[in-house]
Structure 1
């Protein structure tokens, strides 16, 4: 009986998910929840950012396969934790630049635990889930959002973390700076992505980028600082409970 019920429940859940997906496609609702919303970028730039992000995503798949087949204790669980952390934090949207939003990124935790390449895959999964099932939009701008949040952010954060550790900075401060600067670098990149498409009539791309950065700074500076503290708390809890060893799979 339990097996029959489980199969029926699984099939019903799948049917409901498919109905929700098709309804969202057939009856779209304008959303302003992504870094760069649906339809904000011209098709040429959408294709460009997809092409730029694709190699990072492919390499991330390779690295993720290594992790999934790793014999390291709790590797899969920690990978899932990092994905959930990105999903929860990046779902906390706040209105910002027209056609865009501000929110924490959550990429610092996974960057420190598994390296920056894996975040390109986890980030795409999260952004797709938010776009399709949470009506956040951003399918055509997925490449651009992926590049800023899950490629540039983790790379900058990872570089900062490794540099701080090489300089004998404490783990907590290094992790805090990693998460905070990964967040800020995401929005610096987003600002230039928008500025290239919407340059200022007088000051050009640089002037437009400065304006976008000024608007983002109002919400993103405190959000990034809060994200840094939260990332440190979660990582230290994981390490202190012997669920993971520092730099286990880097």
Structure 2
């Protein structure tokens, strides 16, 4: 993740920015609505953003022009839903590009699409699937963090495969090569991130139980409630 500045062809960088923009704008609206309707959730909202910033700032060299690291978006997606994380994740990536030289401005759209959009949605769907199966909340948090991390890197592999197709096997071959390289570092990182997410959530259960209950996260939900929530997200 964190594709470096200037690493993508200009037209592809522009295309990823155009693809990410509607999600980010929608996320900004969702954040404003969340703060207006539930002012008490502002601290948790800030904590979700800070958690993502800190985890995704842990930079491990992976490929030329890219890096491996946790993402931290799965927890925020569970707490506030993926649209909110589309905005928070993009803000995190922007600050990291400006202050830490992680990623870049021209590649912000591509990085946001993988880490702030695809990752949170996949993580959130994993959370819903685990909860629909009536498994413990901790299992749902782990699944959300693990899947959000891996989905981010799968998306990045596709982005890099499109930008640098293999001379013989084309985009598919290049994407598979990137996936195989990322998997070496990313699978254990995703496991660690999932376990860390469970620990952080247990702390939140102790110090912010009323806020979690207000967000509808602390209590076990029925299959019909999960189905209704999915239908609401599509409306």
Give the TM-score normalised by structure 2: 0.88
Q: CA deviation at 1:81?
A: 0.1
- Separation (CA, whole Å) in 2 of partners of 1:246 and 1:153: 24
Contact preservation (8 Å) 2:2, 2:102 = no
2:177 — aligned with what? 211
Q: CA deviation at 1:247?
A: 6.8
The 5-angstrom pairing of residues 1-250 of structure 1 reads 35-71=2-38, 73=40, 75-241=41-207, 242=209, 244-246=211-213, 248=215
* CA distance in 1 between partners of 2:126 and 2:84 (Å): 17
> What is the CA distance between 1:245 and its match in structure 2?
2.0
| 8 Å CA contact retained: 1:160, 1:174 | yes
Tell me the CA shift for residue 202 of structure 1.
1.3
Aligned length: 216
Contact 1:94/1:102 (8 A) holds in 2: yes
How far off its partner does 1:198 sit? 0.6
Distance 1:134 1:168 in 2: 41
For 2:59 and 2:210, the matched residues in 1 are separated by 30
Provide structure 1 residue ranges, at least 5 long, that are not aligned to the other structure.
Answer: 1-33
TM-score of the aligned structures, taking structure 1 as reference length: 0.83
Give the unaligned 5+ runs of structure 2.
Answer: 217-228, 230-235
CA contact (8 A) 1:113 1:246 kept: no
| Residues 243, 97 of structure 1: alpha-carbon distance in 2 compared, 3 angstrom cutoff | farther
Residue 102 of structure 2 aligns to a residue whose secondary structure is: coil
Bigger radius of gyration among the two: 1
Which structure shows the bigger proportion of residues in helix conformation? Answer: 2
CA-to-partner distance for each residue in 1:200-239, whole Å, 9 max, x for gaps?
1111111111110111111111111100011111111111
Q: CA deviation at 1:138?
A: 1.1
